[in-house]
Structure 1
Amino acid sequence: MTGTGQAGEPREQWFDPADERLGWDGVCGFERAGETVLPLRMPRERIATALSDDLARLAAMPAGARFAVRTDADRLLLDLAAEAGGAPLDVLADGVLVDRRRPQPGRARLAVALPGVLADIEVWLPHLSRTRLAAVGLRGHRLLEPVARTGPRWTAYGSSLTHAMFPHGPSESWTALLARRHGWRLRNLGFAGQAYLDPVVARVVRDTPAELITLEIGTNAYLRSAFTARTWGPAVCGFVETVRDGHPDTPIAVIAALPSAEREHAVNAAGLTLAGVRELTGAAVRVLQRLGDRRLHLVDGRDVLPLAEADGVYADGLHPTPAGEHRLAGLAEPFLLPLLAA
């Protein structure tokens, strides 16, 4: 941390990105490389056990990673190194968007005007590319403290539907919108095209403190023909039971494959339809419920998003539009909100 400012000039103060006063959430730690820090949502030392370069690449994208400070600063300064990816960075003041921009690839310094009155300032990093931070600066402030985060912790595992492809910005994915609305502490473990029930992910979910866990599964298994009718159900049971080992009393909601009209009854290379994968997912959950898991809940994706409404939510028959992310947040809310009250 450094401070600057001559007499009569606004005070400017710089922080190491991992400084605890920045109030990070949605991350498990940081990876240092030279002058920069990469916020992590998965432990890097274990991701190799998935034997997937794609999963490792996606896990390094800071979906849901954010930091927040309570301050009266009039300017936020970000010294960062971004990769190409197309997703913007969001800055919110007391929950209201004050700046959204796409960092150019490479090293850059961004200056963001802030209200200059006491407010909770939250920065959501781009969710579709690696963004490394070298330093975080604030100017013109008299007060700075980490934002108190006291809400329930929500771990959301899933596919691109959880990772989010087309939101206006990282703070407007359906998971981010729902978490912001209710003060939940989101940990986004969505991996676009890679929700294959990897054991390493199950262990991370198992070891991550949470008051709510959602597992949005089935779509990738169908699209990539990664499982057969024989292997999918046992894989679901194994993943859920691993998670349950670390969360004996936490509500776990298995969200079984949101609908996709062109895929519901189309047979993939493994002999399954999307509807069939959804049915197998339900069968696996019901087995575990019969075996005594009373905190395990099945959420049929067609109940969350009725098939007749899907075209009005999706951009491409599978991924929500920016407005669709808002719609999906509203549709998912009545299924998830009661689980935390139970």
Structure 2
Amino acid sequence: MSPAAHWITTPLTDSLVRGAIELERTAQGLLPHRLPARARAQCADGQLAMAEAQPSGVRVAFHTRATAVELETVPTKRVYVGAPPRPDGVYDLLVDGRLTAQGSADGGNTLVIDMTDWSTEYRPGPPATVRFTGLPTGAKDVEIWLPHDETTELVALRTDAPVEPPPHRGRPVWLHHGSSISHGSNAASPSTTWPALAASLGGVELLNLGLGGSALLDPFTARTIRDTPADLISLKLGINVVNLDLMRLRAFGPAVHGFLDTIREGHPTAPLLVVSPILCPVHEDTPGPGAVDPDSLATGQLKFRATGDPSEVAGGKLTLTVIRDELARIVRERRADDPHLYHLDGRELYGPSDAAAMPLPDNLHPDAATHRLMGERFARHAFTTGAPLGRPADPHLHSPAAQ
């Protein structure tokens, strides 16, 4: 701890942690999860376990007059054998909704991943502290957004003035589910992933269930969404089903219907926006599975490629083009009985002209500037008055603006 006088340690509880589905008590503190234990118990996949424990959208939030804050954590940092070193995760500190400071935490655990066979080695490490000083004086709302791509156990919160839970501002809760792009891959920081930016612009409270590599129409994810309080829901579906070569067209349609049916059991009339994949040239007309391009490792620039055969699309293999058509059809047909269901073509967020000007650096994930572009566009398409997740133009109706 720093030598600053009169540090106050406040217990970390669910009243101060937002954006998590569940908080697990560990030997050192609290581990935020974005899937509940009952869901985690139904799948032993290591990628899912890593993704749901990375706290994208999770933040420590409080009201205080403090001008100095310390957050002690145990981060878990990833090292990929043969790939360039990853930067430390970023902590964003927001004061009254504005990004005011950033920091990183040294130390913590290390997870070494060999992409040739996806074996892992876990190396435990000590806690780390990220410190923010010089905050504005006076009463304020403070949020510390945890690194979106770095598993983070919360150990202690220390401040130089008392803290209390932040007041409820009456903002609607937006629950979003998607792939690694929604999780925040290649975003600059946790409050600048495209969902975080869209939530800020839309004036909503984000609950981000973007799960890297794991937006796979799993029934336990649908049940999690069903059972989680939310005012607005969006689902960005498709890319992981293709790049894992998980299913064929015959299974995909019924799986989407089942996913939506389950969500509607808990949220029968909530505005629900289905978003198809953004443009991804390697998978537009070429099926999965996707794979790391081995030639890219030698250059220090990780890239992905599609390994499927386009001729197999006729037999039911999935591409992004096929999936976009299928999602549009499903939403169009279901809307006859579900007027609160909407569709958005993902290419409205990132399309052909964007790919020419801002190509995906690794052929799969957008860069930081593209996250900002997507956040701004999603806010405009989804949260403006009359849009699917926005205030209705007619207070008695919810306008199907995205159709």
Q: TM-score by structure 2 length?
A: 0.78
The equivalent position to 1:201 in structure 2, one of 210, 215, 221, is 221
Do residues 190 (structure 1) and 210 (structure 2) align? yes
Q: Is the 8 A contact 1:50 1:198 kept in 2?
A: no
Q: Does 1:274 align with 2:320?
A: yes
Whether 1:82 and 2:75 are equivalent positions in the alignment is: yes
Is it true that 1:72 corresponds to 2:65 in the alignment?
Answer: yes
Match of 1:331 in 2: 377
Query: Helix, strand or coil: the match of 1:250?
Result: coil
DSSP-derived class of the 2:42 partner: helix
Does structure 1 residue 103 correspond to structure 2 residue 98? no
Q: 1:88 to 1:297 in 2, by over 3 A?
A: same
Question: Is 1:125–1:170's contact at 8 Å kept on the other side of the alignment?
Answer: yes
Which of residues 138, 157, 160 in structure 2 aligns to 1:117? 138
1:301 has 2:301 as partner: no
Q: CA deviation at 1:298?
A: 1.1
Shift in Å at residue 10 of structure 1?
A: 4.4
Give percent identity, aligned residues only.
Answer: 32
Whole-angstrom CA distance in 1 between matches of 2:266 and 2:33: 21
Q: CA deviation digits over 1:81-109, x for unaligned, max 9?
A: 11114321111112232322221232122
1:205-224 equivalent positions in 2, closer than 5 A: 205-224=225-244
Equivalent pair of 1:36/1:133 in contact (CA under 8 Å): yes
Distance 2:146 2:93 in 1: 9
Matches of 1:248 and 1:70, distance apart in 2: 34
**Counterpart position of 2:167:** 148
Find out whether 1:11 has 2:2 as its counterpart: no
1:226-305 matched pairs, under 5 angstroms: 226-268=246-288, 269=308, 271-290=317-336, 292-305=337-350
* Partner of residue 123, structure 2: none
The one-letter code of the counterpart of 1:37 is L
**Aligned with residue 138 of structure 1, among 159, 162, 175:** 159
- Who is 2:50 aligned against? 57
Q: 1:315 to 1:144 in 2, by over 3 A?
A: same
User: Any idea what the Cα deviations from partners look like across 1:113-162, whole Å, max 9, x if unmatched?
Assistant: 122332211100111121111110111x2x53322232000010000110
Identify which range, 237-246 or 314-323, moves more after superposition.
314-323
2:24 counterpart (31, 42, 57): 31
Alpha-carbon offset, residue 190 of structure 1: 0.6
Give the secondary-structure state (helix, strand or coil) at the position aligned to 1:97. Answer: strand
Paired amino acid for 1:50: C
Number of aligned residue pairs: 330
SS at the partner of 2:12?
coil
Are the counterparts in 2 of residues 232 and 281 from structure 1 also a CA contact under 8 Å? no
CA distance in 2, matches of 1:19, 1:119: 20
* Contact preservation (8 Å) 1:25, 1:185: no
CA distance in 1, matches of 2:13, 2:179: 28
Distance 2:50 2:335 in 1: 35
Counterpart AA for 1:11: H
Q: Which residue of 2 aligns with 1:126?
A: 147
Amino acid in the other structure paired with 1:84 = K
Q: Residues 312 and 324 of structure 1 are in contact (CA less than 8 Å); yes or no, is this contact kept in structure 2? A: no
Q: CA deviation at 1:299?
A: 0.8
Q: 2: distance between equivalents of 1:195 and 1:54?
A: 11
Quick check: 2:57–2:196 contact (8 Å CA) kept in 1? yes
Q: Which amino acid aligns with 1:304?
A: L
Q: Please give the alpha-carbon distance, in whole angstroms, between the structure 1 residues aligned to 2:253 and 2:355.
A: 26
Q: Secondary structure at the match of 2:32?
A: strand
Q: What is the alpha-carbon distance in structure 2 between the residues aligned to residue 157 and residue 134 of structure 1?
A: 28
Task: Please tell me whether the aligned partners of residues 243 and 287 of structure 2 are also in contact (alpha carbons under 8 angstroms).
Answer: no
RMSD: 1.9
Alpha-carbon separation, structure 2, partners of 1:109 and 1:247: 40
**1:273-321 CA deviation, whole Å, 9 max, x = no partner?**
210121122222223223x011111111123323221343433333121
Instruction: Answer yes or no: is the 8 Å Cα contact 1:37–1:132 preserved in 2.
Output: yes
